[in-house]
């Protein structure tokens, strides 16, 4: 078999060295009753590459991939063009097939790349420090809430109505077991509304509040100034946790850190990683230096070797589960190293200049698209300010419209009905993301199809 180097001759020689008569002798500690006599039932025997490739390709063809359709989906996962060199580099065996850098002398490649990643994330988010990645944005968000609890020793978190509903859902799941108190709400679809629930948040902060969690741009695409919120949090001894699900936005707008956020977490997928039907993605986590010892996850840091040469190591592991066990800041072990590398390579290729240009392109495309789509009779643009994603209010339920567009080969957006089932006030909402991968013709195709749908 192609992945197994032992020959039968090898196996015999090795059993002889071990002093075992047969391979079964090595499984003597498995109780008789638990031993399977033969191969797993139902699973076919080993197969050639060709046969497996045929099977998997057949399944892949049953999906409508984004490249085959005018594509406008966002809501936490964004399609950007990733340079070919990114995938080439992360597939280098030395990156792809290495482990968590526990032996730093022979893992400087990974460690230096992570150190660069941390610096990029910290600067992008406007924070002092960042860690070496989390699973994804949603889990990073919950980790931020628990960190705020540890820092403030309070357990009430106020979640913005603009926070991604999956992130809210995850937090609710966890809070049910940890006892954290969550104050959540659903967004307001009134066109012209401020687009975030700043007033509610400002009012809710009190002396028991551990943190306020606010997403920017938020689930409807709104962008907002967080400065006042940060000031109020700090006044009350709470932390401001900001969530960024579209980091490309930070090429155009001020970072949460600059606006006063204490912890900034995010989903790094939109830079370098690709859609992948939701995973693997990469969680970004940054905060103020003073809180670093309460931070979850791995950290690469600088040190020197026995010859005095600069080198990198994993550090502050006394926060981590393999040292602290039940007293760790988090149970996270494996994170998203390779996706963090992809993020970092892509961001290095972009650089300041490229990221800003990319953000400009996205914004310009989104503004043009929003204006075009708002001309469709019956459709209203909900947002005042936005980056590359905005929400339309349709005169009918948006979910069937989305499905009907898909039947025509158009991936036209995410309906709020899918994200907030049962919330009648949101059923008409359609969130449309417009990145550099959407052409003007794509927008026109969507506009005309939407018009036809609504007229139908």
Partner 1 sequence: LEEGLIFERDDYARTGVDLPEPPRVAGRLGGLERNRPIGLPGLTEPEAVRHYTRLSRQNYAIDLGLFPLGSCTMKHNPRLNEKMARLPGFADIHPLAPVDTVQGALAVIDELAHWLVTLTGMHAVAMSPKAGAHGELCGLLAIRSAHDAAGSDRSVILVPESAHGTNPATAAFCGYKVENIPATADGRVDLAALTARLGPDVAGVMITNPNTCGLFERDMKRISDAVHEAGGYVYCDGANFNAIVGRVRPGDLGVDAMHINLHKTFSTPHGGGGPGSGPVVLSEALAPYAPLPFVARQADGGFKLVEEETAGEDHPGSFGRMTAFHGQMGMFTRALTYILSHGADGLRQVSEDAVLNANYVLRSLDDLLEAPFGDSGPCMHEALFSDEGLAQGFTTLDIAKGLIDEGFHPMTMYFPLVVHGAMLIEPTETESKAALDQFIGALRSVAGRARAGDEALKAAPAFAPRRRLDETAAARKPVLVWKDEALPQAAE
Residues of this chain, 261-320, that bind partner 1 according to CB under 8 A? 267, 274-282, 292, 298-307, 309, 311-318, 320
Q: Least distance (Å) from its own copies to the CB of residue 89?
A: 9
48 is a contact residue toward its own copies (CB under 8 A): yes
- Judged by CB under 8 A, the chain residues 248 through 307 that form the site for its own copies are none
Near partner 1 in 123-142, by CB under 8 A: 123-124, 128-130, 132-133, 135-139
CA distance 2 to 102: 30
Which listed option, its own copies, partner 1, none, makes contact with residue 437 (CB within 5 to 8 Å by class)?
its own copies
Within 64-123, the residues that bind partner 1 by CB under 8 A are 64-68, 71, 73, 75-77, 79, 83-85, 87-110, 112-116, 118-120, 122-123
Indicate the residue among 210 and 445 with the shorter CB distance to its own copies.
445
User: Which letter, b or e, does each residue of 182-211 get, where b requires 16 or more Cβ atoms within 10 Å of its Cβ?
Assistant: bbbbbbbbeeeeebbbbeebeebbeeebbb
DSSP 3-state of 49: helix
Closest CB to partner 1 among residues 183, 227 = 227
Which range binds its own copies by CB under 8 A, 34-42, 49-57, 175-183, 340-348? 49-57
Picked from its own copies, partner 1, none, the partner binding residue 377 (CB below 5 to 8 A depending on kind) is none
The mark string for 91-110 relative to its own copies (x by CB under 8 A, - otherwise) is xxx-----------------
Contact between residue 97 and residue 438 where contact means Cβ atoms under 8 Å apart? no
| Distance in Å, CB of 101 to its own copies, minimum | 22
Q: What is the DSSP letter of 157?
A: E
Distances (CA, A) of 396 to 87, 165, 424, 430: 42, 22, 11, 10
Q: CA 323 to CA 333: how far, in whole Å?
A: 11
CA pair distance 370, 379, nearest whole angstrom: 10
Q: Cα dist. 446→16, 49, 176, 402, 455 in Å?
A: 70, 40, 42, 11, 14
Site pattern 349..388 for its own copies (x: CB under 8 A):
x---------------------------------------
Indicate whether 425 belongs to the interface with partner 1 (CB under 8 A). no
Cα(325)–Cα(431) distance, integer angstroms? 42
Q: Which of 33, 37, 50, 455 binds its own copies (CB under 8 A)?
A: 50
- Shortest CB 73 distance to partner 1, Å: 4
**Which span sits near its own copies by CB under 8 A: 46-54, 117-125, 269-277, 293-301?**
46-54
For residue 379, what are the CA distances in angstroms to 54, 116, 270, 392, 454?
44, 45, 28, 6, 9
Q: Examine residue 63 and tell whether it contacts its own copies (CB under 8 A).
A: no
Using DSSP, state whether 88 is helix, strand or coil.
helix
Q: Phi then psi for 204, rounded to 5 degrees?
A: -80, -20
């Amino acid at each position: 078999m192609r992945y197994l180097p032992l020959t039968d001759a090898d196996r015999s020689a090795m059993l002889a060295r071990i002093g075992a008569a047969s391979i079964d002798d090595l499984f003597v500690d498995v109780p008789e009753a638990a031993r399977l006599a033969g191969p797993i039932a139902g699973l076919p025997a080993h197969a050639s590459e060709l046969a497996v490739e045929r099977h998997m390709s057949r399944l892949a063809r049953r999906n409508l991939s984004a490249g085959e359709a005018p594509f406008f989906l966002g809501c936490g996962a964004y399609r950007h063009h990733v340079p070919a060199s990114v995938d080439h580099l992360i597939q280098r065996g030395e990156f792809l097939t290495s482990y968590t850098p526990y032996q730093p002398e022979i893992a400087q490649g990974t460690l230096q790349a992570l150190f660069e990643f941390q610096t990029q994330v910290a600067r992008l988010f406007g924070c002092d420090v960042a860690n070496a990645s989390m699973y994804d944005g949603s889990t990073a968000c919950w980790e931020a809430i628990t960190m705020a609890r540890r820092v403030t020793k309070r357990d009430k978190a106020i979640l913005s109505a603009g926070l991604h509903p999956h992130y809210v859902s995850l937090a609710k799941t966890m809070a049910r077991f940890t006892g954290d108190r969550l104050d959540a709400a659903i967004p307001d679809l009134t066109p012209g509304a401020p687009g975030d629930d700043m007033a509610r948040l400002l009012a809710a902060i009190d002396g028991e509040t551990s943190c306020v969690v606010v997403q920017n741009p938020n689930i409807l695409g709104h962008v907002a100034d967080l400065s006042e919120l940060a000031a109020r949090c700090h006044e009350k001894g709470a932390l401001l946790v900001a969530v960024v699900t579209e980091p490309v936005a930070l090429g155009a707008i001020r970072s949460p850190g600059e606006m006063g956020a204490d912890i900034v977490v995010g989903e790094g997928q939109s830079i370098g990683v690709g859609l992948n039907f939701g995973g693997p993605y990469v969680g970004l986590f940054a905060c103020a230096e003073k809180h670093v010892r309460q931070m979850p996850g791995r950290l690469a840091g600088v040190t020197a070797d026995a010859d005095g040469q600069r080198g990198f190591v994993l550090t502050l592991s006394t926060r981590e589960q393999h040292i602290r066990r039940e007293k760790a800041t988090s149970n996270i072990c494996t994170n998203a190293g390779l996706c963090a590398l992809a993020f970092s390579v892509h961001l290095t290729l972009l650089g300041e200049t490229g990221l800003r240009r990319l953000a400009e392109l996205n914004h310009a495309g989104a503004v043009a698209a929003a204006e075009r789509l708002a001309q469709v009779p019956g459709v209203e643009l909900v947002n005042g300010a936005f980056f590359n994603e905005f929400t339309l209010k349709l005169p009918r339920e948006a979910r069937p419209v989305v499905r009907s567009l898909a039947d025509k080969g158009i991936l036209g957006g995410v309906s709020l009905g899918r994200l907030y089932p049962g919330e009648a006030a949101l059923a008409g909402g359609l969130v449309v993301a417009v990145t550099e991968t959407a052409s003007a013709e794509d927008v026109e195709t969507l506009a005309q199809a939407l018009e036809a749908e609504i007229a139908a």
